[in-house]
Amino acid sequence: MSVPKLEQLSQSVVQGPSLAAGAIPTRDWMDIPVKFTPGSYAYVAKKDKVEYLNSQSGLSFPNAREWSPEDDDWKLPEGWKEIILKGLQERLGKFRSLKIFMDCCVRCGACADKCHFFLGTGDPKNMPVLRAELLRSVYRNDFTLGGKILGKMVGAREMTVSVLKEWFMYSYQCTECRRCSVFCPYGIDTAEITMMLRELLHLVGIGINWILEPVSNSNRTGNHMGLQPHTFKDNVEFLVEDVESLTGVKPNISFNRKGAEILFITPSADVFAEPGLYTAMGYLLLFEAIGLDYTWSTYASEGGNFGLFTNNEAMKKLNAKMYAEAERLGVKYILGGECGHMWRVVHQYMDTMNGPADFLEKPVSPITGTVFENAASSKMVHISEFTADLIKHGKLKFDKSRNSHIKATFHDSCNPARAMGLIDEPRYVLDHVVDWVEMPENTIREQTFCCGSGTGLNTDEIMELRMRAGLPRANAVKYVHEKHGVNMLSCVCAIDRATLTSLNDYWTPEVGVCGVTELVANAIVQEDETRGELEEGLRTMVF
């Protein structure tokens, strides 16, 4: 009697438009079309943004139009299929890695359960191997002999509108975090496959506004926020005033100063939005404490590079201002703030893309004399390396008790951890300034879980998607909160500071988010400061 009832309950559970409630798949993955519903996709790029970008030198963003992913007709340009296939052919010739990644996967499945999107959704097309297969199937069909002859038998399929829609859905359900690559025996970089998918989609005018508008802002004013030089300057000056009223110490700052020793570049979010601006106040205090001879730039006013999430031409163009400004100002090298994807661009692409920066010197810390051999070629040093070196040489005086209201943990931001190996430096810094604990080992260091909102997916219309994609990270945060009383999640990434705040607000509202440099500045003891009377840390003082 009860068995049929359970089946009936099961039927009602799996009915309806749910993708996740599909129970046992009865069809081949190629035969399951994607369905776009509100919340399942990020808003598409506005027509005027695409038009503007397409009109700019060195950039190509064709087919500006009004359209919606929910419409059957995506208003693709005539000959769109040829455009895509030609684009793929060009990229296979141009990027050796793409050609290798298309050919060498043995479908061992090591990556399958490593993706936070898969872990949060259970959608098989979010397994990295299958996400790559979305492109690989088309590659097989048109660029391999086996595929041309045997077709579907060898996993080949024709490029159709349905395939294109699938590409859009799943290349924007990947944050290019590269966790899967850590487990791939061949080292296939799924992030690069997603990058290629997005590049190809842009060829026919498919892109999202949360990425293209910041790219357009950045192309115009130098930063994602679209801040003009005077606004950028004003914002940093406001922060100087805040620091002065909170600590009694007024940091010296300068903008576009020729002859400064160091050019400092950080994501513009740090000077504009909470909680990033506390990190920016941290930079100001830190640099003041060591008397650093540095300058901000109102031109290279953005460390982040949303161009990375569109195509290589846009990435290159937006990145070019860093070296250009360093050369114009005649600095010795560049110091970079806490950012995630900025460091992927800087560490893996900048040197060959816009370098060599022969006009700069091999970075040497003016305070300790340490030579940063690791940045000998890129000429750009990470703030955490720089700070760790200062601490190692005893150049900073700390009162760790100023952070005693904080029990921290550390989130390795995907790009610094996996794209540049910045793993121990922030930990060394934290050891000296705050009481902190690690999250479980399969969620940190090289195996860190993404915030779920990287690569320009930090937009609010896909909040549910972000929450489920961020579940693996949030799950580990919740664990250390419950076990160790952790109340602060520290990180070295501007996007993380914004997105982890939302993630925690949903999963563990008791845990705040801060930058590592904010904690450093909280603990720094300087002469003539007046914050001794304050009972709690810098953040708390603001409110």
Q: Which stretch binds other proteins (CB under 8 A): 166-174, 332-340, 366-374, 470-478?
A: 470-478
> CB-based contacts of 205: which residues, under 8 Å, 6+ apart?
50, 61, 62, 63, 64, 65, 75, 76, 77
Q: At what angle do helices 494-507 and 471-484 cross, to 10 degrees?
A: 70
| Window 483 to 502, contacts with other proteins (CB under 8 A) | 498, 501-502
Q: Does 3 bind other proteins (CB under 8 A)?
A: yes
What b-and-e string marks burial along 384-399, b requiring 16 or more CB atoms within 10 Å of the CB?
Answer: bbbbbbbbeeeebebe
Q: Least distance in Å: CB of 63 to other proteins?
A: 19
- Out of 226, 330, 355, 366, which residue is the one contacting other proteins (CB under 8 A)? 226
Structure tokens at 302: 């953005």
How buried is 101 (Cβ within 10 angstroms: 0-12 exposed, 13-18 middle, 19+ buried)? buried
How many positions of this chain bind other proteins (CB under 8 A)? 74
* Beta carbon nearer to other proteins, 87 or 207: 207
| Window 4 to 23, contacts with other proteins (CB under 8 A) | 5-6, 9-10, 12-14, 16-23
Q: Does 225 bind other proteins (CB under 8 A)?
A: yes
* Beta carbon nearer to other proteins, 64 or 375: 64
Closest CA to 307 of 356, 267, 341: 341
Q: Least distance in Å: CB of 222 to other proteins?
A: 10
Pairing verdict, β 294-295 and 380-382: unpaired
> CB-based contacts of 197: which residues, under 8 Å, 6+ apart?
134, 135, 167, 170, 171
| Window 238 to 277, contacts with other proteins (CB under 8 A) | 269, 272-274
Q: Least distance in Å: CB of 516 to other proteins?
A: 20
SS3 per-residue string spanning 444-458: CHHHCCCCCCCCCCC
Q: Residue 104 carries which side chain, given as an amino acid letter?
A: C
Q: Least distance in Å: CB of 375 to other proteins?
A: 29
CA 311 to chain centre: 15
| Window 272 to 311, contacts with other proteins (CB under 8 A) | 272-274
Q: Does 113 bind other proteins (CB under 8 A)?
A: yes
- Give me the phi and psi of 380, to 5 degrees please: -135, 125
Q: Least distance in Å: CB of 178 to other proteins?
A: 17
> Which H or E element spans position 521?
helix 516-523
- Out of 216, 256, 365, 448, which residue is the one contacting other proteins (CB under 8 A)? 216
* Beta carbon nearer to other proteins, 404 or 475: 475
| Window 39 to 58, contacts with other proteins (CB under 8 A) | 40, 48-49, 52
Can you point out the beta strands (E) in 223-285? 262-265
Binding to other proteins by CB under 8 A, coded x per residue (else -) over 502-541, reads x--xxx-x--------------------------------
Q: Least distance in Å: CB of 238 to other proteins?
A: 13
Q: Point out which residues pair with 259 in neighbouring strands.
A: none
| Window 440 to 459, contacts with other proteins (CB under 8 A) | 440, 442-443, 458-459
Q: Residue 313 carries which side chain, given as an amino acid letter?
A: E
Structure tokens at 190: 């799924």
